[in-house]
Structure formats: C-alpha cells, structure tokens
Amino acid sequence: MKKKVVLITAGPTKEYIDPIRFISNDSSGKMGYLLAEESKKLGDVILISGPTCLKPPKGIKFIKVISASEMFNQVKKYFNKCDVFISCAAVSDYKVKNASKDKIKKTIGKLKLELISNPDILLEVSKEKYNNKRILVGFALETNNLIKNAQNKFIKKKLDIIIANEPSTINSDRSKGAIITEDKIKKFKSISKKSLAEIIIGDIRGVLTR
C-alpha cells in the first residue's frame, strides 16, 4: 500500500470565559495520541491536539491548539492533504459569546454566561469528503442509547467508521464500547486503548485496501 497521510484531532478544547476560567470537556487525549502512534504504520501523521498532559509521539507533525475555532482552522489547513481523518477530539460544542479580556470579579448574585455554538469540525469537513475518496473516522461518547446515537452520528457525519464509547472510558487507559461500520457492529468489553488503537488502524487499513 502507498504511504498515506493521516490527520488526527485529540484531547479537549478550552473555551475561555476570562483569562483564568474556561469551559471544556473531560478528555485526557490518550486515545488520540495512541492512534497517532499507531497511524505511523500507514504513513505520515499530523496530530492536532487540544491541551493535554501527554507527550506527543515522535516522528509526527504535532500542532497544539486551545479552542475549537483554532482546531477547526488547523483541520481546514490540512484536510485536503489527508487520506484519513480521525476525529478523536472532545470538542467543546459551545463557547462564551463575550469572553472578558480581564478577570471577572465576584459579583453579587448570579453570573450569566451566554454560550454560542462552536463549529462541528467533523460535520463541516464531511461536506468536503470528495466522492468518498477520504476515510472519515469519528468517535461518540454516550451516556445512553450508545449504539443508536453513534449510528445517527455515523450517518449525519458521513463516516466510514465510528467508535462508540461509554463514559467510563474518559481518562482511563481502557475503553468499552463498539466499532461501527455500515454493515457491522463490533462490540468490545474493556480493552486497553492501545489494543483499540491497533484494531482501529487495522480496520482503516482494511478500508484503504478494499
């Protein structure tokens, strides 16, 4: 197989309220970083990561971002060059409308924050999939109706593979859920994220060589 370019997003995004406070999602970035390591077997890897405590894998292009908008800008920059896009980031769906440039002082009573939508990065790039030439892989973290909700995202975001995860996966070294494709649901019970990364990249190789 010819060398491929794999673009991956990982970790959470942070949306600042003021220079000190932010809203975010709970995500260690472990799954995305393990996928970046494993993806080296397919070719060149570009990892766009929100803030994490992890060391990026060696031998890849690593781009650090903070917010969803920054992540989206970087994805747009590299998407046209990639053969595979793995959207593993826990992107904040909302950001604060008027983030304060100074630290917000304690006020009496309630503090109201107005939140506005962030771009859905995976949904936006799925519109430019270019006649199925590019492989799109997404993740879904669900507290209920795991398979059904993930399947809905699979269809809406025109994915080739979606990995449905249970909340116990967050910050853990293990994952529990299912790998879903158009015609298959492969359930897995608590496996290491490293093993899961190997399986996912194996499945992507399968799609690439089909």
Residue in 28, 74, 87, 151 binding ligand CTP, rule: CB under 6 A: 87
Considering the complex, what minimum distance in angstroms separates the CB of residue 109 from ligand CTP? 30
List CB contacts of 38: < 8 A, sequence separation 6 or more.
197, 198, 200, 201
**Is residue 12 at the binding interface for ligand CTP, with CB under 6 A as the rule?**
no
- Burial (CB count <10 Å: 0-12, 13-18, 19+), residue 87: buried
Report the residue number, 17 or 72, with the smaller CB distance to ligand CTP: 72
- Among residue numbers 143 through 172, which ones bind ligand CTP (CB under 6 A)? 153
Considering the complex, what minimum distance in angstroms separates the CB of residue 61 from ligand CTP? 19
Q: Which x/- pattern over 104-143 shows residues binding ligand CTP (rule: CB under 6 A)? A: --------------x-xxx---------------xxxx--
> Is 165 tagged catalytic?
no
Considering the complex, what minimum distance in angstroms separates the CB of residue 174 from ligand CTP? 19
Report the residue number, 7 or 140, with the smaller CB distance to ligand CTP: 140
Report the residue number, 42 or 141, with the smaller CB distance to ligand CTP: 141
Indicate which residues carry an active-site annotation.
25
Residues lying near ligand CTP in the complex (CB under 6 A) are found at 68, 87, 89, 91, 93, 118, 120-122, 138-141, 153
